[in-house]
Structure 1
């Protein structure tokens, strides 16, 4: 199955560390206001998910959401969540670890785009 969101080994390792400290987690791809356009990691349930949020998939068994309006811009890409040194979003859990999650991406092929349409636009 084609995945809309993946995570690097480094990101998966940090997710596991954060689970130990904080319990169940959730991700939401920030829309660009206060924290830029970053993947934000929260304790599960700390951010209220609405009707306009799209579940893109799971990374490290953690749900990853994006607002529908932003998804319309990103729907042609596969998100690859990575981690780098430095402080990221001030509300995201990894900041105190001296790390930040970072979204990388790659464009889907024509065939992959057709498969994605079947899943998200059905």
Structure 2
């Protein structure tokens, strides 16, 4: 089955490390304000989602949300969460690790789009 959001092994490894320190996690794909357009990682339930947020899937056992407005821009792509060296969002849990989560994407194939629309 095609997933709307996936993660690289490096991202999954960092998620596991963060879960050991902080417990269950959640993600929200930022829409570009203070921290740019970045996947933000929080302790589960710390970021309050609302009616305008969509549950896109899970990565490493953590729910991954995106705002409806961001989803409209990216709905034709699979989000691939990766991790790179550097400092990212000041509110995201990975900052003190000297790492930051990064969203990569690829366009769904016609077959994948059909599957997702069923």
Unaligned stretches of 5+ in structure 2?
none
> Which structure shows the bigger proportion of residues in helix conformation?
1
Counterparts of 2:65 and 2:80 in 1: how far apart (Å)? 13
What's the counterpart of residue 70 of structure 2? Answer: 70
1:48 aligns with 2:22: no
Aligned residues: 118
Task: Output one character per residue of 1:31-86: Cα deviation in whole Å (capped at 9) or x when no partner.
Answer: 00100000000001111111111111100010000001110110000000000000
Counterparts of 2:117 and 2:68 in 1: how far apart (Å)? 14
CA RMSD of aligned residues (A): 0.7
Deviation at 1:110, TM superposition (A): 1.4
Q: Normalising by the residue count of structure 1, what TM-score does the alignment of the two structures yield?
A: 0.94
3-state secondary structure, aligned to 1:42: strand
Q: Normalising by the residue count of structure 2, what TM-score does the alignment of the two structures yield?
A: 0.97
1:29 aligns with 2:52: no
Counterparts of 1:47 and 1:117 in 2: how far apart (Å)? 29
Deviation at 1:100, TM superposition (A): 0.1
